[in-house]
Amino acid sequence: MDFFLEIVVAVLLVVGSLMSLIAGIGLITFPDLLSRMHAATKPQVLGFLLLFAGLAIHLRSWILVPVLVLAWGLQLLTAPVSAHMIGRAGYRTKHVAKETLHVDELKKVISKHSEATGNTGAVRKIEGSKADENEKP
């Protein structure tokens, strides 16, 4: 039984580290910000799940499990939010190669909004940044 569990732990640790290597290779080879974002979230959820499971099995302690579940749940909650913010900032600052997109739903929303307000996207964004400056003391 112990030998079997050791094999399981070894496989979990190696595959969990492999996720980080995949993220690194993806960061080097992918051409675009959005595709790099897709690669960068690999170690965040699946890799940490495998590493934490391997750690908990290897140390044979149930006390670890709530802390590890807390760390993994934090990753699970914050990964989509930060990816959303980075993708939105990349779209606004034109770092997204638009010809590679099959569906562009944000463009529809922005054009509808600029028709309603009579502004182009650029003017609206400058107004938004001025409003942000006014909020600062």
List interacting residues with other proteins (CB under 8 A).
6-7, 9-11, 13-14, 16-18, 20-21, 23-25, 27-28, 33, 36-37, 40, 43-44, 47-48, 51-52, 54-55, 58-59, 64, 67-68, 70-71, 74-75, 78, 81-82, 85-86, 88-90, 92-93, 95, 122, 125-126, 128-129, 132
Nearest to 52 by CA among 6, 7, 17, 1: 17
Nearest to 30 by CA among 42, 41, 38, 21: 38
User: Rounded to the nearest whole angstrom, what is the least distance from the CB of residue 94 to other proteins in the complex?
Assistant: 9
Count of CA atoms in the C-beta half-sphere (13 A) of 76? 9
Q: Residue 116 has which token pair? A: 């309603």
Query: By C-beta, is 86 or 101 nearer to other proteins?
Result: 86
